[in-house]
Structure 1
Amino acid sequence: MAGALALTALGPQALAAPAAPPADGPAASGLQGQFARAAREFKVPQSVLMAVSYRQTRWEDHNGEPSTSGAYNVMGLTRVLPGDVERPTAQDRLAHLNLSGDPAVMKRFDARKAPAAEPSVDTGDPRLHTLDEAAKLIGEPVDTVRTDAGQSIRAGAALLARYQRAATGSLPADPGAWYPAVARYSQAPDAKGADAFAERVFDSVRSGESRVTADGRRLALPADPGVRPAGPTAKATRAAVAPTALTPECPAGLNCDYKPADPNNYNVANRPDNGYDIRQIVIHDTEGTYEGSINTFQDPKSSASTHYIVKDDGSLVTQVVATKDESYHAGNKTVNMHALGIEHVGFAMKTGSWYGEPLYDASATLVKYLADRFSIPLDREHIIGHDEVPGPLDGYVAGQHWDPGPFWDWNHYMSLLGADDCTGGRMPAAGQVVKVVPPFTPRTTTYYDPATKTRTTFDEPVNFGYLYAAPALDAAALSDPYLGEQVATEGPNWANKVVAGDRYVVADRQGDWTAIWYGGQKAWFQNPGGRYTSVVARSAAPVVLKAKGTAPVQVYGRSYPEDAAYAGTGVPVQGSNSASLTKYSIPAGQAYAAAGDPVAGDYYYGGTTLGTLVKGAQTFYPIRYNHRIAWVRTADVQVVTPETR
């Protein structure tokens, strides 16, 4: 779904390195000391207090700004007021519907019968006011607890102590005895979700954690492998989730249920057993509530669905479409055919600018399970955002979604998946394939709200770097022919942004600047000493593609079979079946990294009882064309050897 929560873009400091923390002194010990003092004050084991914070925010204070679901500061305490919640316009609602990406299906969508506005957020729910409750416990104003990391830690410690007393009547010194308080701190509405959070917290207690925060503070939680957490108590959680008739496809240890989408909102299929394989996983942001998303997917008039929804607190994963079936989530038929969609819940906070750690943890657990089951590579060509899905035809490119957006920490997420931790270190040479690895550090960013005609400025970590038409900060920002004139710093303007983990071919270098081939042009970004690129070794078998001749290569937004392939199948040749994206091309001499193996053009027709897969003789390479994936015909390109020097 669209990414109105991901409200950001980078300024000239786009690829600046994070500040190196000193070995000691206030920056290194201040926050660590505050954990120690709060632990003593409220008689909470410091390891438990630090582990709870780590599993909520990784010890980040986020400048006192809210998460996408109303959590604040290092302890992730919540505060959501009625005025905090975004109210989607009718146009916003329609943008989340009719996502089959198949014009033959999309033309049947009737906007007049589209689902009404989703249910409003119950801002009176106590789970959305843990900050208020905790502030009262320590006698501090809510704004102080919201903005001050030290007071957030004190408030979180006080709340944990209150939960522990309620559960056991005491404040034991044994960290393992604090399981019920930790489980309740999750605010999960059911026992299994609370247990999942508590287990992750005690994993951190036993194994230890250490990291440097975005503002340069070094913290360490020493390992304590001897801790044995107690089991959950009934007082710590609410009633368990009611069983469902369908069994969700989920890994052990993840709290899952199944609430089926309406059959009008997906295609029944039999992936991957009928030669109709699953290649990618697409990460989405709901931009709304969990309940509203379920309602949308169960409404037969929405023509939209997904495979899974991950709740914002990580307490529950709901499956709505079987993995064997083609859900309508990406707005692109080819991607829908060969991908799984995962939505991530946010309340659409007006100023939400980060995602909570419980959501990342639950999502990564699900993705690792799915990737292993369907042999999906754990890289950024196969684990992609909705913002990397192309428009299938000319008329759809400008309107393609941009979620999960710049606030999604791809570096961290891929590390949770166990993917290679690539860091830069040397300037790449022309012809080499590189993974772009900008740091996830704070930048001044903006978002313009056309409904209120106001522009909001943020100073939060983001996942991308700016691209320029020349190697200079005062050069023109890169543009896209489908988007027209854009403000460079706006989040929805994906034309001038290179996202963490994506692979490109180096076109040139000049001083501390590197150019990549991107969208038919040279795209320059600052790369001092090669810190923000990691050269992909030849042993990793990167495939580089160039035009075979002197004519520009056509670029496609989908990989359909040739017209002749439909003969005898009972499936009509699709409208604009062989149409390319006419404003895109690859000029002779440019080179692009393949985003997977060559694939046969195909189209799945769900209009018959068992469905019909039309597969052609024509094959395509998926490529990383610009911010988004695209396709080129294998007949039009040649594979060349990437440089290795």
Structure 2
Amino acid sequence: MPVKRKQVKNLIIPFAISSLLVGGIVPFENYAPLVPPSIAFAEENDSSMQTAFEEAAKEFGVPVSILMSVSYNITNWEHHDGQPSFSGGYGVMHLTDLADKEDGEQHTNVHKPSRTTAAEQPQDHTLKEAADLLGLEPDELRQDPVQNIRGAAALLAQYAKDTVGSLPEDEEDWYGAVAKYSGSDNESDALSFADQVYQTINDGAERVTSDGEEIVLAPKHVKPNLKTAESLHFANKDAASSRRADCPRAWGCDYYEAPYVQLSDDPGDYSNYDLSNRPESGPDIRYIVIHDTEVDYDGTIKIFQDPQSFVSTQYVIRSKDGHIAQTLENKNVGWHAGNWYFNSHSIGLEHEGFAMEGASWYTEVMYRNSAKLVRYLGKKYKIPLDRNHILGHDEMPGLTPTNQSKMHEDPGPFWDWAHYMELINEPIKPAKGNSNIVTIKPDFKTNRPKVSDVKKQSTNFVYLHTEPDATSPLIVDPAIKAGRDEYDGLNWGNKAATGRSYYLADHKGSWDAIWYGGQKAWFYNPQKKNTVAGKGILVTPKEGLDSISVYGHAFPDPDDYPEGVPQRTSVPLQYTIEKGQVYVAAEKVKSNIFVAPVYVTDPDENVMVYGKEEYYEINFNHRVGFVRASDVDVIKK
């Protein structure tokens, strides 16, 4: 039986696989290549990034604080093994080479959005500009962090000359050069980046990189000279668009309205969202769902403006500069999570990138601006800023067993949840509570397990085994198709992700077991290095019950619906929780559903239905789940 268009909003909307990897900075003209560095310089500095910053700063007349802070705010001083970011940036200074990234593209799709040429987007090719300045081949700047830093220093020096006419003697006069280095043609984003760079200089920064080097930027009071950015040229800004976007005016967010249209005489044939007046009436907003686009930024905006796409979300965040666009008012219900219950109660954030790009990483500026947006939304809509309410799309359950097997897997294993929560100002840290509750938290920098088809890189999960033995098989989830590669990075059935909390079921040597997806799952945890103490509500099947069902929602029962209101059948997922198993619950919620079956012109025509039953939201497997409160006993401390 064909799927009706209306049904699509409750299913998974697969994006086309494509990537316009944008990034970088506006290059300069009429320069002469510098003399290539001596071999001795590289040999002296390749073991110390701190020294490389200091030497490059001295060589090109750039304040070391400026050079280090720019790097910190783009890459966190990480070289990423010379692999490109999702916006085509390389190395510790994120020098961009979009053309090279496109040539290595592994994603193919006949509907791939067209890309601009190198001539049309020169800011996406700063790697070559820097290499030409140094008289080196671009690949040297990709692979060698010392040359990468030198190339960026040369660019910053040139940008300073472009903005103020000569190399400034004072750190405050590098503000315009830093804004230009951001690569953004949006004034708010470029100046925001420069502001953050100077804030870091004032605050200082200290970090141990994934290579084990401790890098320190000592705090120093510097007040930037904002006038040095006045010579920069930015794209014209639509003031009306900025005013409509639900974000602080100073951020310069765009607004691109998603269509709400009836497509035929059938009132159930419409797109791309449902009208509501959240949170004043209709569903409350209690979740933020993190996505990645699997499509470039411009292509994503086009998809959300296409009435035939049957998909929508509230925000899109660009990789190269963290620019924020809103595509749907927060009061309305988007079609983004593949689960109607979560659609109704959430705001969706799309991040430009790919869950399994492999040798790539999410940019620091996108992390930071996304976290800034989450802090704003959390405060405005009273959303708890924790990992029970800030969830990945890959943590959404299906509404039915069939849907559970088809749910999306983004943002995937390379999203740095621990760092993201730190930027939100709610770090994942040890909690006071039941000693048998653990929260997963491997060290992202050093946690590099085997993942099929990609180079080893930092991941956000621990593998789960059937036995306390590294040679034992990984566990299998019944929703995962039989025969799937157990080391597939998007095989969510055998991974416990950072920030998720579980109940300790057993312990043997350096191995801990948790109750996970209806089974005992073992993970390597020597000296508790992959966990911190957690907290939560502990639930177990009610005394007298041998097993209970797990749901992907907290919908009312059929007799709770008023007469004339369409009912949704409540179907349990393909799991049960057996007697003796214990799970960590986040909270108890009253059953409810937002009923919006047809196109309407007044949001009040859509109705909320509340049921008598209550549910607990639990950390079930990689995805969250729900159990009926009447089915469980709460374990007291």
TM-score (norm 1): 0.86
**Aligned partner of 2:89 among 50, 63, 71:** 71
Q: For the Cα contact (< 8 Å) 2:163–2:231, is it kept in 1?
A: yes
**Aligned partner of 1:585 among 562, 573, 576:** 576
Matches of 1:250 and 1:552, distance apart in 2: 46
Residue 437 (str. 1) matches residue 441 (str. 2): yes
Q: What secondary structure does 2:177 align onto?
A: helix
Q: Which residue of 1 aligns with 2:168?
A: 172
Q: For the Cα contact (< 8 Å) 2:550–2:576, is it kept in 1?
A: yes
Cα distance, 1:445–1:458 mapped onto 2, change above 3 Å: farther
Give 1:219-234 correspondences, 5 Å limit: 219-234=215-230
Matches of 1:27 and 1:178, distance apart in 2: 25
Cα distance, 1:237–1:357 mapped onto 2, change above 3 Å: farther
Shift in Å, 1:434: 1.5
Q: For the Cα contact (< 8 Å) 1:310–1:316, is it kept in 2?
A: yes
Residue 312 (str. 1) matches residue 319 (str. 2): yes
Matches of 1:371 and 1:193, distance apart in 2: 22
Residue 84 (str. 1) matches residue 104 (str. 2): yes
Matches of 2:401 and 2:354, distance apart in 1: 32
Matches of 2:116 and 2:463, distance apart in 1: 35
Q: Which residue of 1 aligns with 2:71?
A: 53
Matches of 1:601 and 1:458, distance apart in 2: 45
Q: Which residue of 2 aligns with 1:495?
A: 493
Q: For the Cα contact (< 8 Å) 1:29–1:219, is it kept in 2?
A: no
Q: What secondary structure does 2:457 align onto?
A: strand
Matches of 2:75 and 2:298, distance apart in 1: 24
Shift in Å, 1:203: 0.7
Q: What secondary structure does 1:595 align onto?
A: strand
Give 1:286-435 correspondences, 5 Å limit: 286-346=293-353, 351-422=358-429, 432-435=436-439
Q: For the Cα contact (< 8 Å) 1:28–1:217, is it kept in 2?
A: no
Matches of 2:356 and 2:98, distance apart in 1: 8
Q: For the Cα contact (< 8 Å) 2:449–2:459, is it kept in 1?
A: no
After superposition, give the CA deviation of every residue in 1:201-225 in whole Å (9 maximum; x if it has no partner): 1111111111000110110001012
- Match for 2:471: what amino acid? D
After superposition, give the CA deviation of every residue in 1:155-214 in whole Å (9 maximum; x if it has no partner): 000111111111111111211100111001011012111001111111111111110001
**Aligned partner of 1:604 among 584, 595, 601:** 595
Matches of 2:357 and 2:531, distance apart in 1: 33
Aligned length: 580
Q: For the Cα contact (< 8 Å) 2:60–2:153, is it kept in 1?
A: yes
Matches of 1:158 and 1:247, distance apart in 2: 40
Shift in Å, 1:228: 3.3
Higher deviation after alignment, 504-513 or 28-37: 28-37
Q: For the Cα contact (< 8 Å) 1:269–1:324, is it kept in 2?
A: yes
Matches of 2:558 and 2:356, distance apart in 1: 47
- Match for 1:571: what amino acid? V
Q: Which residue of 2 aligns with 1:595?
A: 586
Give 1:138-153 correspondences, 5 Å limit: 138-153=134-149
Q: Which residue of 1 aligns with 2:457?
A: 460
Q: For the Cα contact (< 8 Å) 1:519–1:584, is it kept in 2?
A: yes
Cα distance, 1:231–1:638 mapped onto 2, change above 3 Å: farther
- Match for 2:469: what amino acid? A
Shift in Å, 1:392: 1.2
Shift in Å, 1:444: 5.0
Matches of 2:18 and 2:520, distance apart in 1: 30
Residue 278 (str. 1) matches residue 285 (str. 2): yes
Q: For the Cα contact (< 8 Å) 1:181–1:236, is it kept in 2?
A: no
Cα distance, 1:206–1:533 mapped onto 2, change above 3 Å: same
Percentage of pairs with the same residue = 39
Q: Which residue of 1 aligns with 2:24?
A: none
Matches of 2:117 and 2:619, distance apart in 1: 42
Residue 566 (str. 1) matches residue 558 (str. 2): no
Q: What secondary structure does 1:136 align onto?
A: helix
Matches of 2:106 and 2:55, distance apart in 1: 38
Shift in Å, 1:385: 0.6
Shift in Å, 1:533: 1.7
Q: For the Cα contact (< 8 Å) 2:590–2:615, is it kept in 1?
A: yes
Cα distance, 1:496–1:379 mapped onto 2, change above 3 Å: same
Cα distance, 1:467–1:444 mapped onto 2, change above 3 Å: closer
Q: What secondary structure does 1:144 align onto?
A: helix
Higher deviation after alignment, 345-354 or 80-89: 345-354
Q: Which residue of 1 aligns with 2:265?
A: none
Matches of 2:249 and 2:201, distance apart in 1: 21
Shift in Å, 1:122: 4.4
Shift in Å, 1:373: 1.2
After superposition, give the CA deviation of every residue in 1:378-403 in whole Å (9 maximum; x if it has no partner): 11111111110011111111221111
Shift in Å, 1:146: 0.4
Shift in Å, 1:237: 3.8
Matches of 1:629 and 1:162, distance apart in 2: 51
Shift in Å, 1:291: 1.1
Shift in Å, 1:596: 2.5
Matches of 1:619 and 1:28, distance apart in 2: 60
After superposition, give the CA deviation of every residue in 1:461-492 in whole Å (9 maximum; x if it has no partner): 11111110110001110110111222222111
Higher deviation after alignment, 270-279 or 365-374: 270-279
Higher deviation after alignment, 173-182 or 344-353: 344-353
Q: For the Cα contact (< 8 Å) 1:268–1:326, is it kept in 2?
A: yes
After superposition, give the CA deviation of every residue in 1:97-152 in whole Å (9 maximum; x if it has no partner): xxxxxxxxxxxxxxxxxxx5433354552122111111111111111100110000
Matches of 1:315 and 1:638, distance apart in 2: 45
Which one scores higher on RCO, CA 8 angstroms, separation ≥ 6? Answer: 1
Residue 213 (str. 1) matches residue 209 (str. 2): yes
After superposition, give the CA deviation of every residue in 1:59-107 in whole Å (9 maximum; x if it has no partner): 00000011122111100111112323454436xxxxxxxxxxxxxxxxx
Matches of 1:28 and 1:415, distance apart in 2: 30
Higher deviation after alignment, 53-62 or 230-239: 230-239
Q: For the Cα contact (< 8 Å) 1:285–1:343, is it kept in 2?
A: yes
Shift in Å, 1:252: 5.3
5+ long unaligned stretches in structure 1: 7-25, 91-115, 448-455
Q: For the Cα contact (< 8 Å) 2:78–2:210, is it kept in 1?
A: yes
**Aligned partner of 2:195 among 179, 199, 206:** 199
Q: For the Cα contact (< 8 Å) 1:621–1:634, is it kept in 2?
A: yes
Matches of 1:237 and 1:409, distance apart in 2: 34
